[in-house]
Structure 1
Amino acid sequence: MTRFVLLCLLALISTAAAKGKGFGPGEQDYGYADVRDGAHMFWWLFHTTANVTNSSERPLMMWLQGGPGASSCGYGNFEILGPLDLNLEPRESTWVKDFNVLFVDNPVGSGYSYVDRLSSLTTDNKQIARDLVSLMKSFYEKLPQFKTTPFYVYGQSYGGKMAIEFARMLYDEVAQGNIQSNISGVAMGNSWISPVDSTLSWGPLLYEMSLVDEGGLEAINRQANYTKQVFDQGQFAQSTSEWARTQNVVFQKTDGVDFYNVINKVERGFLRSGRTIMEKAFDVQTITKHYSSRADSLDTLMNGPVKEALGIPSNVRWGSQSNSVFNYLNVDFMKPVTSVVESLLNETNINVHVYNGNVDLICSTPGQMVWINKLKSEATTIFQTALRRTIWVNNTMEGYEKHGGKFALFWINVAGHSAPIENTAATRHILKSMTGF
Structure 2
Amino acid sequence: MSSHYFSLLFLALLFHSVSLSFSSSVKSNDGDVVFLSSAPKFPITMAEKLIRQLNLFPKHEINKAIGDYGAVTDQSLFEKKLNLSYIGDSGATVQDLGHHAGYYRLPHTKDARMFYFFFESRSRKNDPVVIWLTGGPGCSSELAVFYENGPFKIADNMSLVWNDFGWDKGSNLIYVDQPTGTGFSYSSSEDDIRHDERGVSNDLYDFLQVFFKAHPQYAKNDFYITGESYAGHYIPAFASRVHQGNKNKEGIYVNLKGFAIGNGLTDPEIQYKAYTDYALDMKLIKKSDYNVIEKTYLKCQQAIQLCGKSGGVDCMAAYLVCTSIFNKIMNIAGDKNYYDVRKTCEGDLCYDFSKMETFLNDQKVRQALGVGNIEFVSCSSEVYQAMQLDWMKNLEVGIPSLLEDGIKLLVYAGEYDLICNWLGNSRWVHAMKWSGQNAFGKASSVSFAVDGVEKGVQKSHGPLTFLKVHDAGHMVPMDQPKAALEMLQRWMQNKLSKDGHLAPM
Q: Same fold (TM over 0.5)?
A: yes
Alpha-carbon shift at residue 407 of structure 1 (Å): 0.9
1:295 to 327, 332, 353: 353
CA distance in structure 2 between the aligned counterparts of 1:230 and 1:427, rounded to whole angstroms: 36
Alpha-carbon shift at residue 238 of structure 1 (Å): 2.1
Structure 1 match to 2:136? 67
Question: Secondary structure at 1:229's aligned position in 2?
Answer: helix
5+ residue gaps, structure 1: 1-18, 271-286
2:400 to 333, 339, 342: 342
Whether 1:330 aligns to 2:398 is: no
5+ residue gaps, structure 2: 1-79, 87-96, 308-313, 496-505
Distance change in 2, residues 1:160/1:94 (3 Å): same
Counterpart residue type for residue 227 of structure 2: G
Structure 1 match to 2:114? 41
CA distance in structure 1 between the aligned counterparts of 2:440 and 2:193, rounded to whole angstroms: 38
Name which of structure 1's ranges 304-313 and 362-371 shifts more when overlaid on structure 2: 304-313
Structure 1 match to 2:256? 183
CA distance in structure 1 between the aligned counterparts of 2:392 and 2:213, rounded to whole angstroms: 35
Counterpart residue type for residue 389 of structure 2: V
- CA deviations 1:208-249 (Å, max 9, x no partner) are 211212343234334444333332333101222334433322
- CA deviations 1:144-172 (Å, max 9, x no partner) are 11110111110211113211111111111
Task: Indicate if the aligned counterparts of 1:401 and 1:409 stay in contact, CA closer than 8 A.
Answer: yes
2:280 to 207, 210, 227: 207
1:42-121 equivalences under 5 Å are 42-50=115-123, 52=124, 55=125, 57-72=126-141, 74-87=142-155, 88-121=160-193
- CA deviations 1:269-288 (Å, max 9, x no partner) are 33xxxxxxxxxxxxxxxx63
Task: Indicate if the aligned counterparts of 2:131 and 2:225 stay in contact, CA closer than 8 A.
Answer: yes
1:233 to 306, 323, 346: 306
2:372 to 294, 310, 313: 313
- CA deviations 1:45-77 (Å, max 9, x no partner) are 001111x4xx2x1111101001111111x1010
Alpha-carbon shift at residue 380 of structure 1 (Å): 3.0
Task: Indicate if the aligned counterparts of 2:440 and 2:459 stay in contact, CA closer than 8 A.
Answer: yes
Whether 1:167 aligns to 2:239 is: yes
CA distance in structure 2 between the aligned counterparts of 1:199 and 1:306, rounded to whole angstroms: 41
- CA deviations 1:6-47 (Å, max 9, x no partner) are xxxxxxxxxxxxx74254554212211122322211111001
Distance change in 2, residues 1:360/1:409 (3 Å): same
Question: Secondary structure at 1:378's aligned position in 2?
Answer: coil
TM-score, scaled to structure 2: 0.74
Identical counterparts, % of pairs:
25
Structure 1 match to 2:410? 353
Whether 1:253 aligns to 2:323 is: no
CA distance in structure 2 between the aligned counterparts of 1:22 and 1:378, rounded to whole angstroms: 50
1:418-429 equivalences under 5 Å are 418-429=475-486
Task: Indicate if the aligned counterparts of 2:82 and 2:101 stay in contact, CA closer than 8 A.
Answer: no
Structure 2 match to 1:278? none
CA distance in structure 1 between the aligned counterparts of 2:177 and 2:438, rounded to whole angstroms: 36
Task: Indicate if the aligned counterparts of 1:198 and 1:362 stay in contact, CA closer than 8 A.
Answer: no
Alpha-carbon shift at residue 355 of structure 1 (Å): 0.8
Structure 2 match to 1:432? 489
2:456 to 399, 411, 428: 399
Between the two proteins, the alignment pairs up a number of residues equal to 392
- CA deviations 1:173-230 (Å, max 9, x no partner) are 1122222211111001111101232222112211121121234323433444433333
CA distance in structure 1 between the aligned counterparts of 2:481 and 2:402, rounded to whole angstroms: 28
Counterpart residue type for residue 239 of structure 1: A
Task: Indicate if the aligned counterparts of 2:150 and 2:163 stay in contact, CA closer than 8 A.
Answer: yes
Distance change in 2, residues 1:33/1:207 (3 Å): same
Counterpart residue type for residue 29 of structure 1: H
Task: Indicate if the aligned counterparts of 2:236 and 2:396 stay in contact, CA closer than 8 A.
Answer: no
The answer to which structure has the higher helix fraction is 1
Question: Secondary structure at 2:151's aligned position in 1?
Answer: coil
Alpha-carbon shift at residue 306 of structure 1 (Å): 3.3
2:199 to 127, 148, 156: 127
* Higher relative contact order (Cα pairs below 8 Å, separated by 6+ residues): 2
CA distance in structure 2 between the aligned counterparts of 1:432 and 1:353, rounded to whole angstroms: 12
Alpha-carbon shift at residue 385 of structure 1 (Å): 1.7
CA distance in structure 2 between the aligned counterparts of 1:222 and 1:85, rounded to whole angstroms: 45
CA distance in structure 2 between the aligned counterparts of 1:362 and 1:118, rounded to whole angstroms: 30
**Pairwise CA RMSD:** 2.0
Whether 1:266 aligns to 2:338 is: no
Alpha-carbon shift at residue 433 of structure 1 (Å): 2.7
Question: Secondary structure at 1:232's aligned position in 2?
Answer: helix
Structure 1 match to 2:16? none
Distance change in 2, residues 1:20/1:391 (3 Å): closer
Question: Secondary structure at 1:114's aligned position in 2?
Answer: coil
Task: Indicate if the aligned counterparts of 2:81 and 2:98 stay in contact, CA closer than 8 A.
Answer: no
Task: Indicate if the aligned counterparts of 1:41 and 1:108 stay in contact, CA closer than 8 A.
Answer: yes
Structure 1 match to 2:13? none
1:382 to 413, 419, 439: 439
Alpha-carbon shift at residue 370 of structure 1 (Å): 2.0
1:362 to 408, 419, 426: 419
- CA deviations 1:322-371 (Å, max 9, x no partner) are 1111111111111111111112112x221111111111111111111221
Structure 2 match to 1:29? 100
Question: Secondary structure at 2:483's aligned position in 1?
Answer: helix
